[in-house]
């Protein structure tokens, strides 16, 4: 098939949707499909081996407690129709088709068959009825609708009670693997807790930093390894108790090759997110690398993790409970090992090869 993929998020923008689009596109190309990613312009574009067309300009904005990308520009409807006529796609797959501006323009103005994947989860819906009705019309234009989780489906169905299929995000179980070599500097005997993500309010890294006083009481030697970046890092520094700065080590953004090595350099993965997560790709990456999890008890994470099996859930926004769960795993290596094995088995069920099979079956049903 000749497939167009429309997305506001693609490299160099990092995030779950970017990873989803890249891995799905790569699997489609491996199976001899022709793939064209249509996304926003960037100062330093990274195509990562896929054919990419860029429109407008990508901007980072704060929405739903996180930094997300938005593609702004003029004449998207005309440009998209021109691309569709020239490329003669068999179908167009639009990610987050209700999001302004590029995805929504594609969903409103391109001809079918159109497939939409919904990645977003929000607990509230403060939209005027006129806007909701227009978005409902967009839902009905899609030949097929995919949600990455039941939470994402629940959110999307606020705009219209139409059929959805749930096909989750995937993980590259060859890239993220227990066989990956860790960084020797972090395997020095100190108990290492890793956080991976942006310094956004929704990701909850501040609560991990606020857990330090409680960790100090119970753990003789440990480090918090923070993999990610964001301007709020300087703001969050205030949550580190004075005199304990040496407990926290920042790596900044990790390259594609280094990220699995950072996971493998830790003993426990921690995601203290406060909400707004529709799925939890970072949990799958950590599981695929054989790490036990301590994560906030939020709806999106229940789709991939069971409390007591792959890890432990903690109360959101509760640094003491977060520390208690970390300490519980730190003192029980056997339990960590069992959770790591269960997590790896769980991740294998989400391997991108299997997820791509399910997406292709949707494509075949609408072409």
pLDDT per residue as tens digits for the range 296-331: 999 889 989 999 999 999 999 999 999 999 999 999
What are 25-30's contacts with CB under 8 Å, separation 24+? 25/50, 26/50, 26/352, 27/352, 27/353, 27/355, 27/356, 28/3, 28/356, 28/360
State residue 125's pLDDT score. Answer: 59
Query: Of the candidates 348, 339, 294, which has an alpha carbon nearest to the alpha carbon of residue 320?
Result: 294
| Whether 14 contacts 110, CB under 8 Å | no
Q: What is the pLDDT of residue 60?
A: 82
Contact predicate 35/29, CB 8 Å: yes
Q: Is 296 helix (H, G, I), strand (E, B) or coil?
A: strand
pLDDT tens digit sequence for 245-269: 999 999 998 988 999 999 999 999 9
Question: What tokens appear for 142 in the block?
Answer: 């899609």
Task: Find residue 6's DSSP bridge partners.
Answer: 38, 94
In the chain, the N- to C-terminal Cα span, in Å, equals: 9
Q: What is the pLDDT of residue 232?
A: 79
Q: Phi and psi (nearest 5°) for 242?
A: -55, 135
Q: Which residues contact 345 (CB under 8 A, 6 or more apart)?
A: none
- The mean-pLDDT minimum among 4-8, 134-138, 297-301 falls in 134-138
Listed residue (297, 320, 162) closest to 311, CA to CA: 297
Over residues 233-251, mean pLDDT: 90
Residue 299 backbone phi and psi in degrees, to 5: -55, -45
Question: In the structure encoding, which two tokens stand for residue 40, read together?
Answer: 């926003």
pLDDT at 144 over 90: yes
Distance separating alpha carbons of residues 3 and 92, to the nearest angstrom: 6
Element (H or E) spanning 259, and its range? helix 258-264
- DSSP output for 204-257: THHHHHHTHHHHHHH-SSEEEEEEB--TTHHHHGGGSPTT-GGGEEEEESPPTT
47/45 Cα distance (integer angstroms): 6
Give the domains, in start order, of the chain with CATH numbers: 2-170+351-366 (3.40.50.2000), 184-348 (3.40.50.2000)
Residue linked to tokens 């693997």: 177
291 band by pLDDT with thresholds 50, 70 and 90: very high
Confidence of residue 66 (pLDDT cuts 50, 70, 90): low
pLDDT band at 127; cut points 50, 70, 90? low
| Angle in degrees, CA 253, 17, 294, rounded to 5 | 65
């Amino acid at each position: 098939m000749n497939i167009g993929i429309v997305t506001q998020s693609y490299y160099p923008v990092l995030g779950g949707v970017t990873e989803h689009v890249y891995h799905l596109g790569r699997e489609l190309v491996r199976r001899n499909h022709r793939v064209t990613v249509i996304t926003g312009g960037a100062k330093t574009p990274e195509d990562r081996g896929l054919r990419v067309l860029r429109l407008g300009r990508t901007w980072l904005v704060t929405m739903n407690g996180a930094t997300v990308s938005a593609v702004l520009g003029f004449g998207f409807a005309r440009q998209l129709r021109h691309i569709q006529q020239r490329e003669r796609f068999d179908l167009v797959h639009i990610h987050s088709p209700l999001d302004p501006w590029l995805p929504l323009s594609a969903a409103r103005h391109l001809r079918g068959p159109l497939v939409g994947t919904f990645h977003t989860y929000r607990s509230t819906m403060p939209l005027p009825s006129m806007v909701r009705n227009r978005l409902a019309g967009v839902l009905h234009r899609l030949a097929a609708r995919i949600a990455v989780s039941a939470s994402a489906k629940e959110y999307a169905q606020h705009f219209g009670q139409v059929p959805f299929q749930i096909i989750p995000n995937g993980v590259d179980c060859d890239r993220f693997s227990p066989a990956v070599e860790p960084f020797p500097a972090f395997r020095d005997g100190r108990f290492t807790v890793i956080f991976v993500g942006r310094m956004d309010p929704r990701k909850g890294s501040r609560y991990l930093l606020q857990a330090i006083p409680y960790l100090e009481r119970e753990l003789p030697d440990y480090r918090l390894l923070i993999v990610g970046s964001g301007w709020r890092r300087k703001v969050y520094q205030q949550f580190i108790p004075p005199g304990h700065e040496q407990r926290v080590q920042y790596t900044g953004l990790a390259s594609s090759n280094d990220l699995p090595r950072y996971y493998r350099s830790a003993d426990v993965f921690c995601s203290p997110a406060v909400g707004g997560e529709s799925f939890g790709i970072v949990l799958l990456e950590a599981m695929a690398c054989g790490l036990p999890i301590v994560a906030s008890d939020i709806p999106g994470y229940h789709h991939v993790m069971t409390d007591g099996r792959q890890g432990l859930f903690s109360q959101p926004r509760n640094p003491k409970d977060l520390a208690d769960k970390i300490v519980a795993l730190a003192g029980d290596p056997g339990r960590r090992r069992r959770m790591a094995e269960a997590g790896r088995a769980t991740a294998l069920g989400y391997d991108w090869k299997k997820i791509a099979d399910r997406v292709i079956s949707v494509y075949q049903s609408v072409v």
